[in-house]
Amino acid sequence: MKPPVTIAVTGAAGQICYSLLPRIAAGEMLGKDQPVILKLLELPIDQVQKAMRGVAMELEDCAFPLLQGLSLHAEAADAFKGANWCLLVGSKPRTKGMERADLLKDNGKIFVEQGKIIDEVAASDCRVVVVGNPCNTNCMIAANQAKRLPKENFTAMTRLDQNRARTQLAKKAGVKVTDVENIIIYGNHSPTMYANFNNAKVKGKAVTEVIKDRAWLEGEFLATVGKRGAAIIEARGSSSATSAANACIDHVRTLTTVGPDLHSIVVCSDGSYGFAKGVWASMAVKTVAYGKYEVIKDQPLTDFCKAKIKATNDELVGERDTVKEMLG
């Protein structure tokens, strides 16, 4: 049996975690042969702590063979101590009529504090995954607190957008989702994100050869993916949870599985693709070792892509300006 991996998860009494935690404990994130220890963090509020205890009781009642430890915390320093992975879900979701960036002032503060504490107490190989919105900028805030952990260890999640884009292309082409490959999200997890259909493939052929309706690709497709989060809030009355949890599982599983496939994650920009240095932007990566990725810097970009990337970069730079006092 492998030694257990310790995973700290914040927002444990919330919607996303209700879907996420059982899947981690069942081995869907790190593998069916990988024991895990879960350390759950919630706000130090009686009612919320009580709700988290309920979630923990259900996890116990599943008798997951891989779940070798489960502890509940109200203090970030206890939850993050020794963690190999910190999944930062806990934060406010937006409600109808809001953009994700409207959450910045409230949620940003959480990531200043948690970034600092993770850097002080987590394991030296700790990987941090930011789900809480606006996730790119929150990830930048957390990473900027780190003196010990490298910036590459801080990523945020656009896998949900990638999965959404893959499904929309598969539906339009009338194929299975597994027939659609190399659909990569660039930029911000916001309506400005760019799902780069130009390099995507359907059964090995360029998407643009299979879906000849360019107006759909440039219009309805991008808008559907970019505004899917708002559409779910409109329909459900609360933000995506099961699909967000699933994307978090995919994000970590892909990041821990070496392979040639490209996938989208939000990383610190080194200026590639025209993104401003130091903002956290989604781009194509390939996993080269457990938890280690290489940014793919040579994806061809059309003028249309470049204009889209400029717009999403401008938004990221604007968000960075908004939180400049939080960047340590």
Contacts (CB under 6 A) with ligand LMR, residues 135-164: 160
Nearest residue to 183 via CA among 213, 211, 151: 211
Cα 63–Cα 10–Cα 40 angle in degrees, nearest 5: 35
Count the Cβ atoms, other than its own, within 10 Å of residue 45.
Answer: 11
Which residue's Cβ has the minimum distance to ligand LMR? 229
Largest CA distance in the chain: 57
Binding range to ligand LMR, per CB under 6 A, among 15-23, 213-221, 229-237, 271-279: 229-237
Residue 240 binds to ligand LMR (criterion: CB under 6 A): yes
Residue 116 binds to ligand LMR (criterion: CB under 6 A): no
Residue 5, burial from CB neighbour count under 10 angstroms (0-12, 13-18, 19+): buried
- 6 close to 123: Cβ distance less than 8 angstroms: yes
Residue 24 to residues 21, 66, 90, 175, 291, Cα–Cα distance (Å): 5, 9, 16, 30, 16
Q: How far is the CB of 155 from ligand LMR (least distance, A)?
A: 15
Residue 11 binds to ligand LMR (criterion: CB under 6 A): no
Question: Is the CB of 15 or the CB of 196 nearer to ligand NAD?
Answer: 15
> Could you identify the residue written with the tokens 């968000």?
319
- 255 close to 28: Cβ distance less than 8 angstroms: no
Give the total of residues touching ligand LMR (CB under 6 A).
Answer: 11
Q: Which does 110 bind (CB under 5 to 8 A by kind): ligand NAD, ligand LMR, none?
A: ligand NAD
Nearest residue to 85 via CA among 130, 145, 27: 130
Binding range to ligand LMR, per CB under 6 A, among 46-54, 78-86, 140-148, 228-236: 228-236
Contacts (CB under 6 A) with ligand NAD, residues 129-158: 131-133, 135, 157
Residue 7, burial from CB neighbour count under 10 angstroms (0-12, 13-18, 19+): buried
Helix (H, G, I), strand (E, B) or coil at 82: coil
Residue 220 DSSP symbol: I
Contacts (CB under 6 A) with ligand NAD, residues 161-190: 189
Q: Which does 89 bind (CB under 5 to 8 A by kind): ligand NAD, ligand LMR, none?
A: ligand NAD
Question: Of 16, 118, 222, 267, which one interacts with ligand NAD (CB under 6 A)?
Answer: 16
Contacts (CB under 6 A) with ligand NAD, residues 213-242: 239-241
Active site residue 189: yes
Binding range to ligand LMR, per CB under 6 A, among 110-118, 237-245, 266-274, 311-319: 237-245
Residues that bind ligand LMR (CB under 6 A): 93-94, 100, 133, 160, 229-230, 232, 239-240, 244
* Residue positions annotated with a catalytic role: 189
Residues near ligand NAD (CB under 6 A) = 10-11, 13-16, 41-43, 48, 89-94, 110, 131-133, 135, 157, 160, 189, 239-241, 244, 247
